[in-house]
Structure 1
Amino acid sequence: MGAKTLITVAPTGAESAKADVPALPVTLEELTQTAKECEAAGAAVIHVHIRDDEARPTLDPVRLRDTVRALRESTGLIVQLSTGGAVTDSFDDRLRVLEAGPDGCSLTCGTVNFGDDVFMNPWPFMVDLYQRTQELEIVPEFELFDLGQIASLHRLLDKHGAPYGGRVHCDLVMGVPGGMPGDAATLIDAVRALPEGATWSATGVGRTSLPVMFAALSAGGHLRVGMEDTLTLAKGRPVTANAELVERAVSAATLAQRPPMPTAEAREFLGVKAR
């Protein structure tokens, strides 16, 4: 197992409504305050979705640039923008996310049923997005929702070479209705199928958050937590701030004798460009 645990926080996402989840950070002020709290708690990476003035998901390029700048000015966190957006966003808008100049971005390796919707990631879009990250020197994190997407990751690397930064880092997104289940057996199968030398984190959605967290730590992986994926700490106990989820991840990682990875070390670990 590695000596340190890379902890990513995904504070907002595109699925939950502010009216239903009052603690969800949707304004720039709320997001930067959340980022400060999560950095203090032990997170090194922030995975970012943004909202418009009505708290609806958006990929507005001006808002994205303002968000990246504000997070850099207020924290030392690695800023990773979502290129998934919402399931209704166009491929062109999702590609344009990279123009905001983040440190990193998500790159989902295939189409997946997402609850009642379909999250579209056809092969040509994957290639366009990957080549653009190489050109702009942005570190991709390969998001894997099922085992078949790992085969697509191998194909992408074989045909188009190594990512910027040289590190193949993946996130196993587990427990999404339509994707792979969030249990230890599936996690181990997924890890065995990853490219040789790849590093990985795991995300357990909803009630799978704790089983996936413990399985990931025991298998030497890293963690992603946040209100994008988890809205309760326990049955009947809603999350009141993203920092609560980071603190819980830090406690689990520390108990596993793999304390949180400092941001400076995380930048070197992921191959992030100094900006």
Structure 2
Amino acid sequence: MAEDPERQMQAVALAVAPNGGRRTRADHPALPQTAEELAATAAACLEAGAAMLHCHVRDREGRHILEADAYRAAVAAVRRAVGDRLVLQITTEAVGRYRPHEQMEVVRAVRPEAASLALAELVPDASHEAAFGTFLEFMKAENIVPQIILYHPDEAVRLKDMMARGVVPFDDIPVLYVLGRYTEGQRSAPADLLPFLAPGAPHFKHFMLCAFGAREATCVATAAALGGHARVGFENNLHLADGRLAPDNAAIVRGVADALGALGLARADADGLRAQWAALN
């Protein structure tokens, strides 16, 4: 039986962030770093229920890089492994190493399907707004889907103001709410989501959530029950919902997929996620 299109439009997209820019194999031996390891992880996470892969690439020493050739190699390897059955999103995260123009340049060079953009990094003050607006115009023309990372509700207010003033050339835009920061021992809780969804807070039709620590699954399930989408994986968390160390990213994805099913929530596949994004504008 064919998938109900309306159900796909309402379904929860489950993304995996399998490595991030900070963790190494010292944190977990199954953390993927090479293009081939990312491809194998992508295939396993697709089977476990993921619709999207959030991709970081590393140099030979395992350090986070924003280099076009490394991204091209990773994209090619993942596409060989899963075809178009996963949305492939690259990161522009600075990790203290890159400036805004360098973060934007890698997207221009790679032209990926999607890219995540931290508002606080790319627009640290008003003097960066014009360059950011021009960059988003490029992404729109190239059909590259932006996802704006928001670490605090005040950033959501700022983003909506930029949209109202025409700096952001989209009627609506996908966002990622991050519960917490990259700090030692960071632990997120479901209640951390409430300020983003409070009455009077800016509303975005498509929001995704990621959270730090062992309550990751509870946090993203809460977001999904409230109309959002979920991003999980070793970037922010190494544990299963019961507190055990996860053997790999696919185990985390599978656990969250099962939890969403237990809540009666349908899961979007990659084409369903693409359709949800396309419907925003």
Match of 2:58 in 1: 51
Whether 2:110 is the aligned partner of 1:100: answer yes
Partner-residue secondary structure (3-state), 2:240: strand
| Cα shift readout 1:160-193 (whole Å, capped 9, x = no counterpart) | 3443xx6521111102257x98333441320245
Residues 104 and 42 (structure 1 numbering): CA distance in 2 closer, same or farther, change over 3 Å?
same
Superposition deviation, residue 201 in structure 1: 1.3
Code of the aligned partner of 2:156: I
The answer to whether the 8 A contact 2:21-2:95 is kept is yes
CA RMSD of aligned residues (A): 2.6
Whether 2:263 is the aligned partner of 1:256: answer yes
Give TM-score scaled by structure 2 length.
Answer: 0.83
Superposition deviation, residue 97 in structure 1: 1.9
Partner-residue secondary structure (3-state), 1:29: helix
Superposition deviation, residue 46 in structure 1: 0.7
The answer to whether the 8 A contact 1:81-1:97 is kept is no
The structure 1 segments of at least 4 consecutive aligned residues displaced by more than 6 Å after TM superposition are: none
Moved more, 205-214 or 247-256: 205-214
The answer to whether the 8 A contact 2:53-2:88 is kept is yes
| Cα shift readout 1:56-92 (whole Å, capped 9, x = no counterpart) | 1111211112222222232121111101142222323
Residues 122 and 46 (structure 1 numbering): CA distance in 2 closer, same or farther, change over 3 Å?
farther
Superposition deviation, residue 194 in structure 1: 5.5
Match of 1:79 in 2: 88
Residues 174 and 137 (structure 1 numbering): CA distance in 2 closer, same or farther, change over 3 Å?
same
Write the distance in 2 (CA, Å) between the matches of 1:95 and 1:197: 23
| Cα shift readout 1:203-253 (whole Å, capped 9, x = no counterpart) | 111134133123212212110001001012268732221101110110111
Superposition deviation, residue 3 in structure 1: 4.0
Code of the aligned partner of 1:53: R
Match of 2:178 in 1: 173
Whether 2:75 is the aligned partner of 1:68: answer yes
Moved more, 203-212 or 4-13: 203-212
Write the distance in 2 (CA, Å) between the matches of 1:208 and 1:238: 13
Write the distance in 2 (CA, Å) between the matches of 1:177 and 1:139: 25
Superposition deviation, residue 18 in structure 1: 2.1
Write the distance in 1 (CA, Å) between the matches of 2:213 and 2:132: 27
Tell me, which stretches of 5 or more residues in structure 2 are unaligned?
Answer: 1-6
Write the distance in 2 (CA, Å) between the matches of 1:11 and 1:213: 16
Code of the aligned partner of 2:167: H
Code of the aligned partner of 1:145: Y
Give TM-score scaled by structure 1 length.
Answer: 0.85
Partner-residue secondary structure (3-state), 2:209: strand
Code of the aligned partner of 1:189: P
Match of 1:114 in 2: none
Q: How many pairs align? A: 262
Write the distance in 2 (CA, Å) between the matches of 1:106 and 1:54: 24
